[in-house]
Amino acid sequence: MKTSTRLRGPIINTELPGPRSREIKEISEQYEPNASSEQVPIVWKHAEGVWATDMDDNTFLDFTSGVLVANAGHSHPRLVRAMQEQAERAVNTYDFLNEWRPQLAKKLVDITPPNLSRAIVLSTGAETIETAMKIARLYTGKHEIVAFHGAFHGRTFGAMSVNGKRSSPGIKGFGPFMPGVVFAPFPYPYRSILCRGNEDECSERCFEYFKWIIETESEKDIAAVLVETYQGAAGSIIAPKDWLQMIAQWCKENGAVLIIDEVQASFGRTGKLFGFEHYDIEPNLLCLGKGISSTVPVSAVVGEEDIMSVLTPGSVSSTHGGNAFSSRVALENINIILEENLSENAARIGAILDARFREMQSKYPSIGDVRGLGLVFGIEFVKDPETREPAPELTQAVINEAFKRGLVMIAPIGFYGNAIRVAPPLVITEEEALLGADILEEAIAAAVG
Ligand SMILES: Cc1ncc(COP(=O)(O)O)c(C=O)c1O
């Protein structure tokens, strides 16, 4: 495995943001609506491996992977070469065949369980959710979708309709949404009123509630259950194995399509190629995105023969989906992830970081909960470990202090905006990961005062 040899850091040469970054920020403020999430003020100029340099040549360690995209590291030389070569050959081919799209589909089928035999290549994660719900409805002839509290599936209307946390700015005010969605609880032992104090029974209680909601709140016309293996946006809440197995079994027994949204959890992120591999379950439809290419927008729905066979010409396609450029890059990226054993690296470095974060938790009472799987963590900050009252201001302060010291993290996540997300590129070395953890600890110490 290769990481950067050219860039080393962190190196902070200027105030943040520096003068050149401020110039770009001013253009943004003048010409863009204030719609993006509020992130620390880095203006990316160059990124390589796990290192990012801003417009003023300050160098930061990246604990974001973009937003869990750059699994193979930023600007992996093989991806750069694939992009350069393909840019000179053909880029957009619409639904006409190109040499790469079917090869990518074959690869996706080859690396997923044998029950999945066909793949549709698209552009964004939300598009895979829309597509999977359409297919499930067509296949079952039913209309309801069961989704979960805290879920995040994207920002288009269908995807918004199945997102939990209805008060978030990405949802509130945009409705009404698609009817026929039934929400059920996702096990969240640290906070759920179904589970707190009864953590050992969390799975059983949530599953019982799921069945009760279906009994009482649905028309019993369920096309699909749509679930993430871990809820990233809710604060990296990891589904318990027994609960997800019960959900999968329920789908089998009730003829509902099990759609697993692994737009975020796939391609090595959790220490296995796919998140569902931790659960001994098989999706009927699998939604993939983000780390599928580590770079350009690519996504895919991989599904079972029977289910995919309901599609007819013209029923699913998109302008950019499966173009020659993005398909080639995704194929090369998957080969890199497999050949460089990046899932294994994620598991190994993830275990090291997990131990380090738990050590921090024992030192700082403000760290309420640490959740991790492979190289994705949610670290939840609280005002008081007993009451677990969320501490969103402290969380933002930790992120700001880390940034000043050259560590980039995504803005606070979670139901209460009190969790930080740690998700570096999977090429990270032990030395780099521990350096990032040291910076994070310094930032926590500075923020708690
Ligand atoms: C689990 C999950 N599903 C779907 C999406 C939507 O993906 P996109 O932003 O590419 O539409 C995301 C994006 O963060 C996600 O995390």
Q: Count of CB atoms within 10 A of residue 166's CB?
A: 12
- What's the pLDDT band for 187 if we cut at 50, 70, 90? very high
Say whether both 223 and 289 belong to one domain.
yes
Residue identifier of the C-alpha nearest atom 13 of ligand 1:
154
Please choose from 153, 155, 318 the residue to mutate so as to test ligand 1's pocket, defined by most ligand atoms within 8 A of CB.
153
Residue identifier of the C-alpha nearest atom 4 of ligand 1:
153
pLDDT digits (tens, 9 = 90+) for 285-339: 999 999 999 999 999 999 999 999 999 999 999 999 999 999 999 999 999 999 9
Q: Count of CB atoms within 10 A of residue 347's CB?
A: 18
pLDDT at 420 over 70: yes
Distance 217 CA to ligand 1 centre (A): 27
Say whether both 140 and 254 belong to one domain.
yes
What is the domain-level CATH number for residue 267?
A: 3.40.640.10
Residue 371, strand partner residues: 378
What is the domain-level CATH number for residue 37?
A: 3.90.1150.10
pLDDT of residue 7: 56
Give dist(CA 35, CA 19) in Å, integer: 23
Q: Judge if the beta carbon of residue 125 lies within 6 A of ligand 1.
A: yes
Residue identifier of the C-alpha nearest atom 7 of ligand 1:
125
Give dist(CA 123, CA 156) in Å, integer: 13
Say whether both 302 and 392 belong to one domain.
no
Distance 154 CA to ligand 1 centre (A): 5
| 412-to-23, 304, 380, 402 alpha-carbon distances in Å | 26, 37, 9, 13
pLDDT of residue 3: 47
Note the Cα 63 to chain centre separation in Å: 13
User: Is residue 301 within 8 Å of residue 135, measured between CB atoms?
Assistant: yes
Q: Strand, helix or coil at 445? A: helix
User: Is residue 418 within 8 Å of residue 392, measured between CB atoms?
Assistant: yes
The arithmetic mean of pLDDT across residues 123-145, rounded, is: 98
Nearest by Cα to 400 from 154, 40, 121, 25: 40
Distance 386 CA to ligand 1 centre (A): 33
Say whether both 229 and 296 belong to one domain.
yes
Please choose from 130, 165, 237, 263 the residue to mutate so as to test ligand 1's pocket, defined by most ligand atoms within 8 A of CB.
263
Say whether both 213 and 285 belong to one domain.
yes
Q: CB within 8 A of 141, min separation 6: which ones?
A: none
Split into its structural domains, the chain has a count of 2
pLDDT at 1 over 60: no
Say whether both 159 and 268 belong to one domain.
yes
DSSP type of residue 146 = E
Give dist(CA 261, CA 246) in Å, integer: 17
pLDDT of residue 119: 98
Distance 143 CA to ligand 1 centre (A): 22
The arithmetic mean of pLDDT across residues 142-151, rounded, is: 98
The arithmetic mean of pLDDT across residues 361-379, rounded, is: 98
pLDDT digits (tens, 9 = 90+) for 197-207: 888 999 999 99
Nearest by Cα to 405 from 16, 134, 131, 28: 16
Could you identify the atom of ligand 1 that is nearest to the CA of residue 233?
Answer: 16
Give dist(CA 145, CA 311) in Å, integer: 19
Say whether both 312 and 360 belong to one domain.
no
Distance 263 CA to ligand 1 centre (A): 6
Q: Judge if the beta carbon of residue 368 lies within 6 A of ligand 1.
A: no
Say whether both 160 and 299 belong to one domain.
yes
Lowest mean pLDDT across 3-12, 340-349, 391-400: 3-12
Q: Is the dihedral of CA 183, 184, 187, 191 positive or negative?
A: positive
pLDDT of residue 2: 45
pLDDT of residue 399: 98
Distance 128 CA to ligand 1 centre (A): 9
What is the per-residue DSSP string for 401-436? HHHHTTEE-PPPBSTTS-EEEE---TT--HHHHHHH
pLDDT digits (tens, 9 = 90+) for 211-222: 999 999 999 999
pLDDT at 105 over 90: yes
User: Is residue 198 within 8 Å of residue 192, measured between CB atoms?
Assistant: no
Tokens of 171: 């949802």
Question: For residue 119, with 0-12 CB atoms within 10 Å meaning exposed, 13-18 middle and 19 or more buried, which class applies?
Answer: buried
**Phi and psi torsions of 75, nearest 5°:** 50, 50
Q: Judge if the beta carbon of residue 264 lies within 6 A of ligand 1.
A: yes
Percentage of the chain with pLDDT > 90? 96
Q: What's the domain range around 87?
A: 80-339
* Element holding 170 (H helix, E strand): none
69 is a domain residue: no
Distance 21 CA to ligand 1 centre (A): 28
What CA dihedral angle connects 162, 166, 169 and 174, to 10 degrees? Answer: 70
355 is a domain residue: yes
Q: Judge if the beta carbon of residue 187 lies within 6 A of ligand 1.
A: no
Kindly give the pairing relationship between strand 116-122 and strand 419-422: unpaired
Say whether both 327 and 441 belong to one domain.
no
Residue 54, strand partner residues: 44
Say whether both 250 and 151 belong to one domain.
yes
Kindly give the pairing relationship between strand 222-228 and strand 144-148: parallel
pLDDT of residue 9: 83
pLDDT at 59 over 80: yes
pLDDT at 23 over 60: yes
Q: Judge if the beta carbon of residue 262 lies within 6 A of ligand 1.
A: no
pTM of this prediction? 0.97
Chosen domain end from 286, 321, 339? 339
Distance 264 CA to ligand 1 centre (A): 7
Q: Judge if the beta carbon of residue 271 lies within 6 A of ligand 1.
A: no
The arithmetic mean of pLDDT across residues 38-46, rounded, is: 97
pLDDT digits (tens, 9 = 90+) for 223-264: 999 999 999 999 999 999 999 999 999 999 999 999 999 999
pLDDT at 372 over 60: yes
33 is a domain residue: yes
pLDDT of residue 120: 98
Angle formed by the axes of helices 241-254 and 202-217, nearest 10°:
30
Say whether both 202 and 294 belong to one domain.
yes
Peptide bond into 10 cis (omega under 30): yes
pLDDT of residue 49: 97
pLDDT of residue 197: 87
Kindly give the pairing relationship between strand 285-288 and strand 257-262: parallel
Provide the residue type at 87 as one letter. A
The arithmetic mean of pLDDT across residues 18-36, rounded, is: 97
Say whether both 163 and 280 belong to one domain.
yes
